[in-house]
Chain A
Amino acid sequence: MTTTTPVMAPVPPGDRETGRPRRRAARARRRLSSPAASTIAVVIAVLWTVPTFGLLITSLRPELDIRRSGWWTFFTDPEFTLDNYNQVLYGGGTDFSTLFVNSLVITLPSVVIPITLALLAAYAFAWIKFRGRNVLFVAVFALQVVPIQVTLIPLLTLYVDGGLAGSFWTIWLSHSIFALPLAIFLLHNFMKDIPASLVEAARMDGAGHVRVFFQVLLPLLTPAIAAFGVFQFLWVWNDLLVALTFAGGAPDVVPLTVRLAEMVGTRGSDWYLLAAGAFVAMVVPLVVFLALQRYFVRGLLAGSVKG
């Protein structure tokens, strides 16, 4: 999604290679020169971080303090405890590492499968001419608005009939299905902006669609894939509804989020534990983002050089 990189279009790819490194260097570290600009950036960053920071502090405070005073009083009256984390990690009936493995096992295929399918579909919509292409594309795009809730009963009925209910398969399938419309929409947007000349040149050499897809387009798409991969990872990792419905009744399958949601207690009154829970659940997605963040940009450069 990154890129939608429209803008590659006006510039013939050949010209780009030469000047880039030098100009890039010249452009680096220039923008924040204006004090107004820095101020705005800092204000946004602070506004966005403070609530989460408050949560972090909260997760380290004793229950009674959390209910009775603001988290900022931590600085004047530091009361520190790891009990909340203790309870999140060891308090439940299920072993925490099992939940962690479940989350991971659920997430990886649920990222790989829809992205692959969406890439192929987006390619077809962008580069294969066939009747009804646009209508079909708009239809797929429009499917984004179908709320997941309306699909639960029909899908679960199908799974039960197929004897799949309560296994990982139903969760993988469901996540893949729900991700497709958005993935296709975003990747298509990227894909159609790749210069036609590249594709046509390959076609002239006698490459079929499959070869064009793998040899010409895929390398250019790395940043888009990385970006969408991160988002899909987050959505699946943080998902509660799909897991709750389709993993139903199978303790071997339920992910972290299900356990976190139960932690607030039968009447929802232990919500203070959520602060610690939210942080535990956040670690993995954050690491994924930080690891792939550099990769978005690198992929982008690598792609354009190859192009």
Chain B
Amino acid sequence: MQWFLEANSVGHKIALMVFAILLFAVVMGGILLAVDRPKRVPTWVVVAGFLGPTLALLLLGLVYPALETVRGSFYDRRGEEFIGFDNYVTVFTEDGFQTVLRNTVLWVVLVPVITTALGLVYAYLVDRTRFESLAKALVFLPMAISMVGAGVIWRFVYEFRPDQPGVNQIGLLNQALVLFGIEPQQFLIDAPSNTFYLIVVMIWIQAGFAMTVLSAAIKAIPDDVVEAARLDGVSGVQMFRYVTVPSIRPALVVVLTTVAIVTLKVFDIVRTMTGGNFATSVVANEFYTQAFRQFNFGLGAALAVLLFILVIPIIAYNVRQLRLSEEIR
């Protein structure tokens, strides 16, 4: 037993890893073999074979904690006393919460839309050019950087130093302003524009995701369609608008949805760059602060539930898309 739990040499660790993957393969293979008896096995058994392990993991790892969170949101800070909707009342009456909510909406609307638009345009522009892989790698780069790294990078963009003799700017943006003879700005302090500067960071990170997914979708557009349009003499812009975009609509929905949900949950950027100060906080950051800094688990849970609620419109939109595509099929 010890062998499986404590690996402390390189060989041991790798052996353990291989063992884990093999174990997984054997278990899944066994399950699939067991259900692979066409016609004699009832459908539900097959479904259980395909879905069972996944659902079990999800119930344990996500559903149960989510339900606990909902329950916890009706209890006090230590989770001991039932206090009804008090936490929610606190959330909504708290000073400055309007700002937090407004910021969250800004993030969830702007980040997915701009990210997707940029990713799409870029993917389309560099598609099948000579420098395609280089061009894509450049935009993909930010995805490979950890959040901590991204924080440092943007610090060197937004950092403020006064415009005095003997003092050098160390933020790129302020250096640019100074070059043009403009006063350097406190990008991260002046509300409400500071929220937009934080949003830029998120877009910078996520654009690589949008670009990669959309580029693959563009490549999957059948050549006949493109060729036919070309023979009709459509211009590049028209092609983009009337052929490319409609053809990859489902991919666009996927990217928008995914980025929106990721954005809803993201708090590292706000936390590391402004700490939620200067009217830049978002719900996810408030949640983190309450639950893990103030140890007010009740209030933290209420904020997490608010996240669950905010995602409902996104789910509804996807359900509609799902229905539409079912109808087509």
Contacts and interface: CB of A to CB of B under 8 A. Distances in A.
Contacts of A55: 149, 152-153, 156
The secondary-structure label for the interface of chain A is helix
B152 A44 contact: no
B32 interface: yes
- State the main secondary structure of chain B at its contact with A: helix
A184 B217 contact: no
Contact of B146 (A68, A112, A278): A278
Contacts, number: 393
A81 interface: no
B127 interface: yes
A138 B316 CA distance: 9
Contact of B21 (A38, A101, A108, A210): A108
Task: Please tell me the size bucket of the interface on A.
Answer: 35 or more
| Size bracket, chain B contacts | 35 or more
B138 to A, nearest CB: 5
Given A23-B223, A128-B43, A180-B54, A240 B148 contact: yes
B111 interface: no
Contacts of B155: 271
A96 interface: no
B177 interface: no
A281 B307 contact: no
A282 B226 contact: no
Interface string B132-152: 010111111111111111011
A154 B128 contact: no
B36 A252 contact: no
Interface in A279-298: 279, 281-282, 285-286, 289-290, 293-294, 296-297
B223 A109 contact: no
A274 B148 contact: yes
A215 B140 CA distance: 32
Contacts of B288: 149
27 contacts: A1-B251, A6-B248, A6-B250, A7-B217, A8-B222, A48-B139, A67-B170, A68-B170, A101-B14, A105-B7, A105-B14, A109-B24, A117-B53, A118-B54, A128-B50, A142-B311, A144-B261, A146-B69, A150-B65, A151-B66, A173-B61, A181-B62, A189-B250, A206-B38, A209-B46, A210-B33, A252-B6
